[in-house]
Amino acid sequence: MKILLIIDQYDRGNNGTTMTAQRLAHTLSAHGHEVRVVSTGNSGNGKYLVKEYFLPPIVRHIVTKQGMVFARPDEEVLREAISWADLVHFLLPFRLSMKGLEIARELDVPHTAAFHVQPENITYTLHLGKQQAVNAWLYRFFWDRFYKYFRHIHCPSSFIAGELKANHYTSKLHVISNGVDPDFIYQKRPKPEKLKDKYVVLMIGRLSNEKRQDILIDAIAKSRYESRIQLVLAGQGLKYGSYRYRSRKLTNKPIMRFFSHEKLLQLLSETDLYVHAADAEIEAISCIEAFSSGIVPVIADSPKSATPQFALDERSLFKAGDSDDLAAKIDYWLEETEERRRMEKLYSEHGKEFALDDCVRRMEQMFEEELQDSRREKLCMENRRKFAEGKTETAGVVYEEKHIVKMWTPIPFHVKDSYRFFPTNPFFILGGGLVRLLIYLLVFLFIKPVWGLKIEGGSNLKGIKGGAVTVCNHVHLLDCVMVSYVLRHKNVCFPTLESNFRIPLIRHIIRLLGGIPIPENRQVFRRFMEETGSWVAGGNWIHYYPEVVLHPYYQGIRGFKRGAFLTACEAGVPVIPMVISYRHPGGIAGLLRRKPCLTLKILPPVAPPSGGNKRAQTMQLMDTVYNVMNKAYWE
């Protein structure tokens, strides 16, 4: 596989995402893939070079101190690189990746993304880390500008996957650790002479607000072993001067600097205790590297951090932001030497669960899944095109057969030859009208506020004389109720699966709302098509779900089955497409909701094509409607 990684910074800097990208590229290459990178920095084999953004001195100082640079998008370079690739993997949601995504979509190259930038990484720098409204806004910003265009997103931890779900990300989330380099194994070396009689307490990470090295400095000052503790803060960042001043009264001056890979391995072999005090963390690969090397960790139990999942028991957790509790945990582990040595081996074994090679193989599975999804989508489109041109007898795979939602269907029901699809009994019609009235009140009073239903394009229903076929993507258990509300001024019926008439109680509500069963028996199905065609030709409306199968909160438009479009062509009536998409609610509602709000867009009618045979007309109409809906969904 030819895999292209796009990241602002690859061969310079010391941030975790850069190191993750390097390890991913090297391991993928070792697995036999051809890997290239688009990034800033040094030119080299397999590297497509782009320039850095020019930033004002103050901003540049802040960014570079965080170990980052921002890349300037170069369309020519990106187009060349993406044209080469079988798959593009984006690691950051910034301008370089946004432009690359635009080109990948244009060239129809499969693409995946990783979520490595937690909003708190930005807001803590601005002293807004605990402002949930600001963090929620950033989650929405990343989604709207970037992540909503991906079927598959890599999440380094189950914690961040949960955060994305809570913020209404509807793509498929793959929880895969970034993985630990095999060099990080249990090994203990004698300490150098200057550290021989000291306890080495280590924390790795940027010197920034959200990492909370200040809590660790304060805890050591309160420790009973303060005079014997040598604190090492492995990292660099904006807080260097502040932390140097804060630790001025410690007996032993802290060591604060960036360590190379080799020096870090040596330091870990000499360390007695590792502390991870961060308030916000997507994964903290440095913590995994530490306990994989046989060091007991003490971790802040912050609700905005993934790191607490690594603690094997409560002794390795302290109350986030509480230096007294951290000091007590440090003293415990320094006193209990034998217990600490026993736990060192257990933690080292725990670290094997995050082996880099295994994690990269799971990344490869995600890449393969995206390739399969992309091939399936292209096959659908190609089969429809060939079918329309009469080059094949069947339309091939054009819709998804797999049922995602399973319903309880204990009642036996089959559509018989004598079944009345359109009842004429006045009492039935009156009952259906009353049920519809109750449903419309339900939509107005309950569905609109609860699901945040917003209806757009209502004017596209005006001016249509005679019958029509409406179609919509099938992504919600109550989307039929929503469509019924939109079409409340029309005499409309809703074909639905025969199996839905086997559901207790629901079957009667479906029927009163205008639902008619699609027969499973082929002979009865022919009569169904004839009667529905006559119904529409007589000036009535009919609503289809051409995707057939309900797939809640699906990202994008799935393949279609052609029955709706055949009905439109035979009756000579327009198709009115509708699209349900998702949006993020604002304000307090955005913080409370677990699901995205819904927008129902009514699009302009599409007339059946003229000329050619019915099969060609049907496929051409289906393709046209699909493209219109797909475009509207992603707008």
Q: Which of 275-284, 432-441, 487-496 is predicted least confidently?
A: 432-441
Taking alpha carbons only, the member of 282, 258, 255 closest to residue 271 is: 255
Question: pLDDT at residue 234 above 80?
Answer: yes
What does the pLDDT look like over 609-632, one tens digit per residue?
A: 887 677 778 888 988 999 899 889
Question: pLDDT at residue 393 above 60?
Answer: no
Whether 61 and 69 have beta carbons less than 8 Å apart is answered as no
- The torsion angles phi and psi of 395, rounded to 5 degrees, stand at -80, -5
Length of the chain counted residue by residue: 635
Question: pLDDT at residue 214 above 50?
Answer: yes
Q: For position 178, what pLDDT does the model report?
A: 92
Question: pLDDT at residue 405 above 70?
Answer: no
Q: For position 60, what pLDDT does the model report?
A: 66
CB burial string 453-473: b at 16+ within 10 A, e below: bebebeebbeeeeebbbbbbb
DSSP-derived pairing of the beta strands 111-114 and 152-155: parallel
Averaged over 421-431, what is the pLDDT?
A: 77
* Portion of the chain with pLDDT greater than 70, in percent: 91
Averaged over 515-531, what is the pLDDT?
A: 85
Q: For position 403, what pLDDT does the model report?
A: 58
Averaged over 368-397, what is the pLDDT?
A: 65
Q: For position 635, what pLDDT does the model report?
A: 77
Burial of 399 (0-12, 13-18, 19+ CB in 10 A): middle
Structural domains for the chain: 2-177+357-373 (3.40.50.2000), 193-354 (3.40.50.2000), 398-634 (3.40.1130)
| Residue bearing the bigger pLDDT, 207 or 121 | 207
- The torsion angles phi and psi of 628, rounded to 5 degrees, stand at -65, -45
- Tell me the pLDDT of the chain averaged across its residues: 86
> Sorting pLDDT into bands at 50, 70 and 90, what band is 396?
very low
Q: For position 425, what pLDDT does the model report?
A: 75
CA dist 139 and 506 (Å) reads 38
Task: Name residue, tokens 């629901």.
Answer: 506
Question: pLDDT at residue 397 above 50?
Answer: no
Task: Name residue, tokens 């895969």.
Answer: 176
Q: For position 565, what pLDDT does the model report?
A: 92
CA dist 407 and 518 (Å) reads 17
CA dist 578 and 237 (Å) reads 51
Q: Which of 71-85, 182-196, 313-327, 381-395 is predicted least confidently?
A: 381-395
Taking alpha carbons only, the member of 608, 618, 421, 607 closest to residue 532 is: 421
What does the pLDDT look like over 249-260, one tens digit per residue?
A: 999 999 999 898
pTM of the model: 0.68
Query: Which residue(s) pair with 518 in the sheet?
Result: 497
What does the pLDDT look like over 564-597, one tens digit per residue?
A: 999 999 899 999 999 999 887 655 444 455 678 8
- The single-letter DSSP state of residue 500 is G
Q: For position 594, what pLDDT does the model report?
A: 61
What does the pLDDT look like over 272-315, one tens digit per residue?
A: 999 999 998 888 889 999 999 999 999 999 998 999 999 999 99
